[in-house]
Copies of this chain bind each other. A is one copy, B any other.
Amino acid sequence: MSADQHDETLAAFRASIDNIDAALVHLLAERFKITKAVGRYKREADLAPADPGREEMQLARLRTLAEQSGLDPVFTEKFIKFVVAEVINHHQRIAEGEQL
C-alpha cells in the first residue's frame, strides 16, 4: 500500500498532529514574546543574558512534568536546551542593542 492521502486512518492521525503543531507554534511565539521582554528588561537592569541557576531549575521541573505526562525525559532535556539556546541568542543580540 502506498502512503496516499486516501488512507483515512492516517489522515485522522495527521489532522490531530496538525492541530497540535498549530498550538505548539502559537505557544512558542508567545514564549519568545515573553523571553524577548525578559531580554530587554535584563539589558535595562544590567543583568547577564544567561542564568545557569534558573536553567537548572527549569530543567528539573520539566523533567518531572515530562515523567508525569509520559514524554521521554531525554527528548525533554534536548528540547528545553534547544529552546533556551535560541533565547540566549536573542538576549545576547538584545544586550548588543539589536531591536528584537
Shortest C-beta distance, A95 to chain B (Å), equals 14
> Interface SS of chain A: helix, strand, loop or mixed?
helix
| Among candidates B13, B33, B45, residue contacting A41 with C-beta atoms closer than 8 Å | B13
Shortest C-beta distance, A28 to chain B (Å), equals 6
List CB contacts (< 8 Å) of A10-67 with chain B: 10, 13-14, 16-18, 20-35, 37-38, 41-42, 45-48, 51, 53-54, 58, 61-62, 65-66
Q: How many chain A residues have a CB neighbour from B under 8 Å?
A: 54
Given contacts A18-B61, A23-B27, 6 further A-B contacts (CB under 8 A): A3-B48, A22-B65, A24-B79, A25-B65, A28-B76, A79-B82
